Amino acid sequence: MNAPVPDTSVQTPSSPAANSAGPRPTRGHRKALAIGIVAAAAIVTAALVTGILPRLHATAVLDARTADNAAPVVAVTQPRKAPATTDLTLPADVQAYEDAAVRARISGYLRHWYVDIGTPVKAGQLLADIDAPEISDQLRQARADVATATANFAIAQQTAARWRDMLAAHSVAQQDADQKTAEMEATRALLAAANANVSRLAQLLDYTHVRAPFDGVITARNVDTGALIDAGSSNTTSGTSQNLTQGQGRGAELFHLSQGNRLRVYVQLPQSDSALLDGKTEAWLALPQWPGRKFPATVARNAEAIDPVTRTLRVELDADGQNGSILPGAYAEAHLSLHAAQPGFDLPASTLVFLPRGTFVAVVDSASKLRLVPVSLGRDFGSHVEIRSGLQGGERVVLNPGDAVVDGTTVRVATDGTQGA
């Protein structure tokens, strides 16, 4: 019996489509594929969350910090209300209430002087005598002229009276009588002129007695006995007094007289404070030779005009000499209490920016940017100034901004851990 022979033939697929498609995936295969895709997405997401995104955030934070560090750091302050009353201290010049150079009205030689420096005198008191013999001679001649004019007037009166009587008797012409009357009036005028000349020379002779014009103290004596006084050329000459060398060329000033019991104190008030001066302004003086003492003074008057050179208002204070405690010519410090009806804001002077177009302050706005705000200045407090307009209060004003500050610059406000530039 024969065994069966195996079939070695190759079966050819019936169609190309059946050959390329292969076996169809089952439901289990599809589920596994979906799980794989989800797992891959989870891995990618985890990588983004744990790696790439933190690095991107860190880079953004670093960039922001770099930008912040590049912005300049500034220190700021806020304006505060300026005080209503200002105690202003100004240099003052103390002068005598009455001060005069006693000069000669007549030429001659100084016969004698009776007072020296430091001597208190009364009005009309004799200070010196001048020898002027030519004036005495002229006065004697003038009095003789008066006697002559008196005699001429008397005879002219008698002559005119006789001619009037003859005119009444129709013995002379009217014209002749009028002529005698005119001659009488002429002699009357000559007599009056002679008397006036006597009065003039008598007054000149009285000028040989040099007298004090008011109560005061002699502060200078510029002549000595024998000094030649030339009133016409305003010179004095003496070989015996050392003071005369200084007195030559200054006019015929024999003495200098000051009234020291009352004083005038001159103060130059800045224009910015001139509007605050009124009748209620209080004042007192301080002098270096009397430390700790306050000398009362009153605001008496002012110039009512600003000096165009110094831009100041000249103010005069009246003060008592305090029995010689305050001397004329002294330097003093005048303390004035000035009251402002509407005070402005107080800021350090270091906040000011002076530009050609005006005065500004640098303000940091809500966006941390600098803004230049124009302001007008008021009172000067030394290290601080008053801002009269331009601010509303509450602004962050930059300290020490410098003149090179640029409007719109981004800045950082200094905190406890940072320092302003």
Return mean pLDDT, the chain: 83
pTM, rounded to two decimals? 0.61
Alpha-carbon dihedral 78, 79, 81, 85, rounded to 10 degrees = 120
Contact 114, 126 (CB under 8 A): yes
- Phi, psi at 75, each rounded to 5°: -95, 140
Structural domain for 353, as ranges: 73-82+343-413
Q: Do 301 and 232 sit in the same domain of this protein?
A: no
pLDDT tens for 14-38 read 444 444 445 555 666 667 777 777 7
Q: Which of 255, 276, 308 is the last residue of a domain?
A: 255
- 3-state SS of 87-103 is EEEEEEEEEEEEEEEEE
The percent of residues above 70 in pLDDT, for the chain, comes to 80
Of 48-57, 100-109, 225-234, where does mean pLDDT reach its minimum? 48-57
**Residues 263 and 248 occupy one common structural domain:** no
Last residue of a domain, one of 288, 317, 339: 339
**For residue range 110-166, what is the model confidence (pLDDT) as tens digits?**
999 999 999 999 999 999 999 988 888 999 999 999 999 999 999 999 998 988 888
CATH code (residue 327):
2.40.30.170
**323 pLDDT tier (thresholds 50, 70, 90):** confident
Backbone angles phi, psi at 231, to 5 degrees: -65, -30
Same domain, 266 and 131: no
Q: Do 110 and 234 form a contact (C-beta atoms < 8 A)?
A: no
Residues 210 and 306 in one domain: no
Q: Same domain, yes or no, for 167 and 186?
A: yes
* Domain presence at residue 420: no
Same domain, 197 and 106: yes
Same domain, 288 and 326: yes
Tell me the C-alpha distance between 114 and 118, whole Å.
12
